[in-house]
A and B are shown apart, each in its own frame.
Chain A
Amino acid sequence: MTTRRTLAVLLVTGVALTGCGGTEEETTEAAGAAEDYPTEDIRLLVPYTAGGPTDIAARALAAHMESELDQPVVVENAPGASGATAYQQLINAEADGYTLSMTALPTAVLNYLSNEVGYTREDFAPVGVVTQVPSGILVPADSPYQSLEDLFEAAREDPQAVTVGTPGATNTHAAETQRITALYDVPLTVVPFNGNAEVQTALLGENITAGFANLSQDILPAIESGDLRVLAVGSPEPLPYVDAPTFVELGYPELVQSTTTFGVIAPAGTPEAVVQTLEDTLRSATEDPQVVGTLDERYVPAEFIGADGLGELFVETEETFGDVLGD
């Protein structure tokens, strides 16, 4: 604990004590501070630009936290570098629960695995999961491929034949496509685009054979209208809102890592009691109909995933993609 924080706690406690008449014993120990948490503004960093899906989720969450914790929650956008800008600010902040960050997996993990960004999983204290957005393999309506097997068969016959557009170079979809090639010996050419919308355009223009993209709100209308067909979804269980089999059902039990998980993290070393408080708040947020409505109920996990679950997800993601990336 540094002087600055001690001072802050002293100050806050002092003010509180003065307010009550100042008879109680002064409690400036960390444990005391953690029990009182929160007593001041909370910063919630968003590693993406304002107006995007993560930002909207963060603001819905912040509103809920404010009413629950009775302290202002300030959403701050620190976009850039696949989240590194925000995470660097996070790990440089005091580990006291007053600076939190939204995070997106596996992008966050892939970024520190492939680039020197100055942090790893060890520098974070996971709090919990907000939403999970599944992915799927898509083809245009009049594609000759009616099933995933058709597509993979064509790729095996001609290794140049099948190109798969992904929404980025460093996100889950590119890595997962490479895993298909590595694990099941299906030669696929990854063509990274800039975001889901560009993959969708390239599919509609039939410039790529297939796309591996997030089944997020922006792409669902094209699926519902029949312009795009989903050959397989990457979630472990079938999705109620997309009529397509899972990879698992099709005989690819390994392919369950393409879901994007949005969660909340704190700096490593945040007192456990504080993380507990935050986890409870997050749990109640994912149960609040108003918050769930904003987040879109399709993407809020049916069963809340807390600090431990998110922590396991970090480890699992690292193990899964560490091999694909090679180094």
Chain B
Amino acid sequence: MDSWSGILQGFSVALTPTNLLYVFIGVLIGTVIGVLPGLGPTATIALLLPITYTVEPVTAVILLAGIYYGSMYGGTITSVLLRLPGEAASVVTTFDGYQMAKQGRAGPALGIAAVGSYIGGTVSVLGMILLAPPLAQLAVSFGPPEYVALTVLGILLVTYLGTGSVLKSMSMAALGLLLATIGLDPITGTARFTFGEVALFNGLDFVAVAMGLFGVGEILHSLERTDKVQAVTSKIKNIWPTRKDFRDSSGAIGRGSLLGFAIGVLPGGGGVVSSLASYAMEKRRAKDPSRFGKGAIEGVAGPETANNASSTSAFIPLLTLGIPPNVVLALIFGALLVQDITPGPQLIEQEPEIFWGVIASMVIGNLMLLALNIPLVGIFVQMLRVRAGILAAFALLVTMAGVFSVNNSVFDMWVVLGFGVIGWLMKKTGFEPGPLVLAFVLGSILERAFRQSMLLSGGSFDIFVTRPISGGMFAFMALIIIVSAITSRRRKAVFGRVDPADVDETDEPDRDADRQVSAEGSPGADSTTDEPTGSTSTTPGER
């Protein structure tokens, strides 16, 4: 099927009343949770996962995708108005967005962010239409060795890109790989680590683990927080940016779109990495870098464009290779598996309505967000008044009912609670759940593919280097490791350019508050794979 008829088919799917309703619900929920600092897209999608199981697969993905990119819009609002990033990818927006708000230019900051997000999202959708089908065709020839390379690359990048602490990320990834070995051996069919418990034969349920670590862990953690968020009621004027604003930020939006698109496709990429990279790029390119951190509109436009672009392009590896590049996509992968659909190279051909329907829904969803965000900013801000306790109790109820409904299994409810406590402890001790969950998902793909490769090659490791694609990927990985080892000192400074000067402007208590926010205030966002860069490397006090 060529792309044009694919797009037409996509719109015929996305424009049905049900799917239109679900796009709307998705982007609305996304915006709301983007605004609320407690919940990020990962926690929300984890919590809502079981509900999607009652609707058509395409509708489920439309809903979850809407939440993901919707949260990229919503996160901007509180970053600009309150210096409180609603989710991790918006941390950078606080640097210049908040300064703009202080100068009375909150309106244009929000306006340009919405416009930039829209453009970034649209560019990414176009890129996806052009790139995904040929990539899927290429991916058909991917055999087990290529999948080994891809999954190893994903695990490597998720531990390396998160600069929080490579050691902590790696230990969590290792734990994830270990947990993935529970259940029946994929090659011989013998039971491993099941302790005779039949409920463990298929391994720990991914949905239950993710809901526990992200959802319940976050809920428990939020109950400990005592700080209250002050709702802002002041009027926001002149949301539509001026012609000068557009001129100033057009370059940033263009570059942000491309950068975000590229980073989103990479395993381990996603919101935070793309917005930080875009900010760093804009600052480096600027004639007068000192303007950054003092209300430069490019500093809002670029990252906001990039994070939305990346949240769209992240669907490419999932829908063409069956490899989720980050945790949010891993959850959407789970949603498809629950529906008995295994994403892979054949998806575009065999389930075209899912691929094209989701793409078309993104076009519609981005338009809805543009329409929602500009006039309704004030209303979204009011939602910060909802008490965390009420939200938490409700969320826990939904979680427990939801996880039971997936497999009708009481055992899974215990898994959720167990991993909830683990997730809460991890948050307290500074361990990221992201690498664990991604390694858990990729681990079972990796193990099967590795052992298949060994069967194909008769036990020889040559198979990984003699095949051009897997050989190339392993060479690339070796390069990453070597380069990062050589420049290990400067490595931290890759995104480091962003920080000291920008945040140093502010007085001490303010800075502490900021740290509080990025380290604790947005743990829902914490949960995105890429978050590690968010909390540590942007806070100058850390180094």
Contact = CB atoms under 8 A, between A and B. Distances in A.
27 contacts: A49-B340, A51-B339, A51-B340, A76-B408, A77-B407, A79-B202, A80-B202, A80-B407, A80-B409, A82-B201, A84-B198, A84-B201, A85-B199, A85-B409, A117-B198, A168-B189, A170-B189, A189-B455, A189-B458, A190-B455, A191-B455, A192-B448, A197-B346, A205-B345, A206-B141, A207-B144, A218-B350
- Majority SS of interface residues in chain B? loop
A116 B187 CA distance: 18
Contact of A115 (B190, B340, B350, B407): B190
Given A82-B201, A115-B201, A118-B198, A201 B345 contact: yes
B186 A192 contact: yes
Nearest to B448: A194
B374 interface: no
Contact of A201 (B140, B196, B339): B140
Contacts of A114: 189-190
B184 A169 contact: yes
Contacts of A81: 184, 198-199, 201-202
Contacts of B340: 49-52
Given A160-B458, A204-B140, A204-B346, 9 more contacts: A77-B407, A80-B409, A85-B201, A118-B198, A189-B456, A195-B342, A198-B342, A201-B344, A205-B141
Contacts of A49: 338-340, 407
Contact of B140 (A88, A110, A205, A208): A205
The 4 A-B pairs with the shortest beta carbon distances in the complex, nearest first, are A207-B143, A81-B201, A170-B189, A169-B189
Contacts of B196: 116
Interface residues of B, number: 36
A189 to B, nearest CB: 5
Contacts, number: 111
Interface of A: 49-52, 76-82, 84-85, 88, 110, 114-118, 160, 163, 168-170, 174, 189-195, 197-198, 200-202, 204-208, 218
Contacts of A82: 184, 201
Nearest to B188: A169
Contacts of A168: 189
Contact of A78 (B57, B342, B408): B408
A76 B404 CA distance: 13
Contacts of A218: 350
A88 B186 contact: no
A222 to B, nearest CB: 9
Contact of B455 (A76, A79, A117, A163): A163
A169 B201 contact: no
Contact of B143 (A50, A88, A110, A205): A205
Given A51-B340, A80-B407, A163 B456 contact: yes
